[in-house]
Chains A and B, each alone.
Chain A
Amino acid sequence: MEKDLISAGIFLRALLPLLEKICSFDEEAKEIIKGWNLSLMLHFPGEGTTLFFKDGRLKVRREKVLLPSIALYFTSPAKVVKMMFGEKVIPLPWWGIWRISVLKNFEPLAKKIEKYLQADEEFIKDEKNLRFVVSLYLNLILYGVKEVGEKEEKADKIISNTPDGVLQINVLPDGPYGYLQIREGRIYPGEGKWEGKVNAFMEFASLKAAYELFTRRLDGSTGIGLLKIRIRGNIPLVEVLDDILGKLPKYLPQV
């Protein structure tokens, strides 16, 4: 139950939102959403995410909204997980059924997430592509860590015992950047650089180093020793991230 809830949360709030970046990077994706002016909400009891398509662009809000154009309702987190792991599940389009034709094009769009998270070596030889893939992974990790850290009982105990602070994650020399703020036992992720006081830094020596860690070709301990990853400042904050990051793969489909 806990596992399904976390996996479903990751799907809605960490994986699905990657489409926002994909729709501004991928030409086919841009073509698919051309002319879409609607909002699509995917949700299960208690949680949801809404995708706003407008003028060839996509904006994602990690929450439910009132009166979306289409609302896809999964009766339980387990249903979301089944779909996420490739089993056929038909969600209930309890709102906006008259616009359901859009959905047949949504599947190829969603497939793009898999394409980029499983990018082949040839594709990432181009630095622009590698940067894009790393930015997707960083985003997935920032929001995935929030889901695991706040919902898993064992992880929640770690987070609730962690003093407030900000961990800045930088891929050197030119990004992408992201941060995790821990405040009163909750995790607040964000992209870019935190503007206030940072308590700890986790810095990757290169895009390749970040890619290796994010795709589990490199473990954190080895990366630190090989100087591919540099940590400084409040090390317990980094350790918290590392502990939770280690739990993330068990909640994800093997992308």
Chain B
Amino acid sequence: MGVYKFDKSFELFERAVKVIPGGVYGHRHPGFFVPGSYPYYVSRAEGCHFWDVDGNEYIDYMCAFGPIVLGYNYPPLEMEMDKWRKKGDAFNLPGEIMVELAEYLTGLITGADWVVFGKNGSDAVTFALQVAREYTERKKVIVAKGAYHGSHPWCTPGQGGILKEEKMYTLSFKFNDLEGLKKLVSENKKEVAAIVITPHHHPVFCDSELPSKEFLEGIEKLCKDEGIIFISDDIRDGFRLDLGGSHEYFGFKPQLIAFGKAMANGYPISACAGTEELKEAATRIYFTGTFHLSTLPMAASLTTLKELKEKKVTEHLFKMGSILAKGLIKLGEEHGQEIKITGPPPIPFMRFADDKDLFKSQLFCAEACKRGIYFHPHHNWFLSFAHTEEDIKKSLEVADVAFKIVEEEFGKK
């Protein structure tokens, strides 16, 4: 089994750092992977495969960090989009497709009476918070520690350029800790506008966590009793667990729900859906952006959502995710490693049970990547409709080699 080289990626990076701060920014920066064992730049993609600028081919388990739910260049979608491209994209006014998509989404998402559109997850979650603040006339927001809600100042995990004042109204508690949350609310009586959670907790660098029934029921009651708006940040989970929204899958009732990623198979669009009582407050938020109303992503979203429904894609994602997880656990055992997989099967996070610092994960993923399987050592993975049992079989063959290298380096557990 050959090992990949990344010469062209490195050459490109050397050019990039001269004209782009850091060469690549945000969570695509090489430092978030294992530099030297991962490509830095991509060339093209098809199905669940992509090729880097050196021509190396990968089976991809990141799906562009979530958006690709049907597969890259999914033919039925791209054929439809070819028709839309002929009509144009950015106009002075929204197109009819905006109304059609909003009608479709409010019919699809459990509890949604209206919807607005942005470009990124961060837009949608921040809009939701603004609606909550407008409605409640309160300042504070409570989020779970380690949760990612975007790159706006109130929630960014970054430090650069952020004033402490911009984060002073953002409070945090431990996910699933209902008592801790209640205490925080009581310490900030009548000051909390919103509680924001992701349907399941998926921080980077550590295990994912499913919500307990008591936790979700407790938040609902707490929000109702205290006049707090319950926001579900469904950017990462959305449409991978349940087409009605992940709150439908886990069984809770948020008043505002943010979607993005999988809703248009890679076309840039996000959305915030809400209940009737918040609609009037939503009209008072000045929500706009240069490309917020472009029509192509809306058309892509409508086609994607219909395809997800027709092809029963979520069932496929659960099935493929489960096969992959079982295969990795079994291979790990064969190499004397206890593998821990957390999160729902369509969005799993893998680590070695005895290695919280992720040394083993970094080596495992690096060796897999150098042999054409694109796992991530620090972030949850994503499955898509394009993944087949054959792809997973090939991936496990490479994982076997990577586990062997981990065993040689670290020994059995």
A residues contacting B by CB (< 8 A) are 153-154, 157-158, 165, 199-200, 219-222, 224-227, 230-236, 243, 246
Contacts and interface: CB of A to CB of B under 8 A. Distances in A.
Contacts of B75: none
B29 A221 contact: yes
Given A221-B29, A221-B31, A235-B205, A226 B357 contact: no
B23 interface: yes
A225 to B, nearest CB: 4
A245 to B, nearest CB: 12
A200 B31 contact: no
B205 A231 contact: no
10 contacts: A153-B164, A157-B164, A222-B17, A222-B23, A224-B35, A225-B17, A226-B10, A234-B357, A235-B378, A243-B159
B29 A225 contact: yes
Given A222-B17, A226-B14, 16 more contacts: A154-B164, A199-B357, A200-B357, A219-B22, A220-B31, A221-B23, A224-B29, A225-B30, A225-B31, A225-B35, A227-B36, A231-B31, A234-B356, A234-B358, A235-B31, A243-B159
A244 B164 CA distance: 15
Contacts of B205: 234-236
A183 to B, nearest CB: 16
B84 interface: no
Contact of A225 (B22, B358, B359, B362): B22
B29 to A, nearest CB: 6
A200 B17 CA distance: 26
Given A233-B357, A233-B358, A234-B358, A225 B164 contact: no
Contacts of A227: 10, 35-36
A225 B359 CA distance: 19
B31 A226 contact: no
Interface in B13-27: 13-14, 17, 21-25
Interface in B288-334: none
Contact of B22 (A199, A221, A234): A221
Contacts of B35: 224-225, 227, 230
Nearest to B160: A246
B135 interface: no
B360 to A, nearest CB: 10
Interface residues of B, number: 27
A38 to B, nearest CB: 44
A220 B359 CA distance: 20
A153 B362 CA distance: 33
Contacts of A220: 31
Interface in B49-102: none
A236 B25 CA distance: 17
A-B pairs, 9 with minimum CB distance: A221-B22, A224-B31, A234-B357, A225-B30, A233-B357, A222-B17, A225-B23, A199-B357, A225-B13
Contacts of A234: 205, 356-358
Nearest to B24: A225
A157 B172 CA distance: 13
Nearest to A153: B164
A235 B358 contact: yes
B40 interface: yes
Contacts of A222: 17, 22-23
Of the candidates B10, B36, B159, B358, the one having the most CB atoms from chain A within 10 angstroms of its own CB is B159
A41 to B, nearest CB: 35
Contacts of B357: 165, 199-200, 233-234
A153 B30 CA distance: 30
Nearest to B34: A232
Contact of A224 (B30, B160, B358, B378): B30
Interface string B177-220: 00000000000000000000000000001000000000000000
B22 A232 contact: no
A232 B29 contact: no
A182 to B, nearest CB: 13
Contacts of A246: 160
A233 B359 CA distance: 5
A23 B70 CA distance: 67
